[in-house]
Amino acid sequence: MSAVTRIARSIIAVITILCWCSGVSAYALVSEIDPAANLSDDRWERRDPFFPLIDFPQEITSESASVVGVAATTEQEESYRYHSEGRRDPFRSILDVEQSSVRTGAPLTPLEQFEPHQLRLVGMMWNSTGYHALIETPDGMAYTARLGTAIGVSGTVSSVSEDHLVVQQSVRDVFGENKFQEVELNLYPDEEAVTLSEASTPLENQNTTQDDHDDEDE
């Protein structure tokens, strides 16, 4: 490198520093000294110190932010939506049971139209085929039932004796499993048995009094 070139560059450096401090464009001064110099004005102009080197993206406006928030909320609601298909009702007690209908399509008999707890056992008969129960329905009608007679939606007489019968029902629990439940109908409920025993007391007293009178006559 020749001495002239070094001197020229030193002069340009000094002029650049002076222009930087004074705010004057160095392009015009350098062009006057060396018209052949290929210098860009943007290279030598002072940069705005308050202008950032990196251009950040435009800030999100309030309107666009609300749209994004609504979209996010909707997506979150769809993600946590509850589907009740195939699940147990959480508001139903696990002790509740429902009857599983096993007789559909055929006309119901009078005893199938009522549940066992709605019926009343009022009599019992016996013949060569076994015991036959006389059952009274809530409408005041009486019907006979024997072993195997259908009662209620899913009940069947499973046992008949001289003073009671047992109805076995098929029920479905809250877990969907079929179970059997027995309902017993007594010919003489407890309160009726007490009434009959109390009614026999005066008759026994009357017989005792008659025996005393016979002894006195003798």
Q: How many domains are contained in the chain? A: 2
Q: Which domain holds residue 14?
A: 3-44
Residue 16 has pLDDT above 70, yes or no: yes
On whether residue 33 sits in a domain, the answer given is yes
Is 0.95 surpassed by the pTM of this model? no
| 180 in the same domain as 106 | yes
Residue 1 has pLDDT above 60, yes or no: no
| 188 in the same domain as 106 | yes
The average confidence (pLDDT) of the chain is: 69
| 186 in the same domain as 102 | yes
| 174 in the same domain as 107 | yes
On whether residue 30 sits in a domain, the answer given is yes
| 105 in the same domain as 185 | yes
Distance CA(130)–CA(97), nearest Å, equals 33
Reported as a single tens digit per residue, the pLDDT across 169-182 is 888 777 778 888 89
Distance CA(169)–CA(153), nearest Å, equals 8
At residue 55 the predicted structure's pLDDT band, cuts being 50, 70 and 90, is low
Reported as a single tens digit per residue, the pLDDT across 129-138 is 889 999 999 9
| 106 in the same domain as 182 | yes
| 188 in the same domain as 121 | yes
CATH number at residue 167: 2.30.30.830
Domain boundary among 28, 44, 60: 44
For the chain, give the secondary structure using H, E and C: CCHHHHHHHHHHHHHHHHHHHHCCCHHHHHHHHCCCCCCCHHHHCCCCCCCCCCCCCCCCCHHHHHHHHHHHHHHHHHHCCCCCCCCCCCCCCCCCCEECCCCCCCCCCHHHHCCHHHCEEEEEEEECCEEEEEEECCCCCEEEECCCCEECCCEEEEEECCCEEEEEEEEECCCCCEEEEEEEEECCCHHHHHHHHHHHHHHHHHHHHHHHHHHHHC
On whether residue 205 sits in a domain, the answer given is no
| 180 in the same domain as 116 | yes
Q: Which residue has the higher pLDDT, 78 or 49?
A: 49
| pLDDT attached to residue 142 | 93
On whether residue 108 sits in a domain, the answer given is yes
| 104 in the same domain as 189 | yes
On whether residue 67 sits in a domain, the answer given is no
On whether residue 175 sits in a domain, the answer given is yes
| 21 in the same domain as 104 | no
At residue 144 the predicted structure's pLDDT band, cuts being 50, 70 and 90, is very high
On whether residue 79 sits in a domain, the answer given is no
On whether residue 87 sits in a domain, the answer given is no
Distance CA(169)–CA(16), nearest Å, equals 107
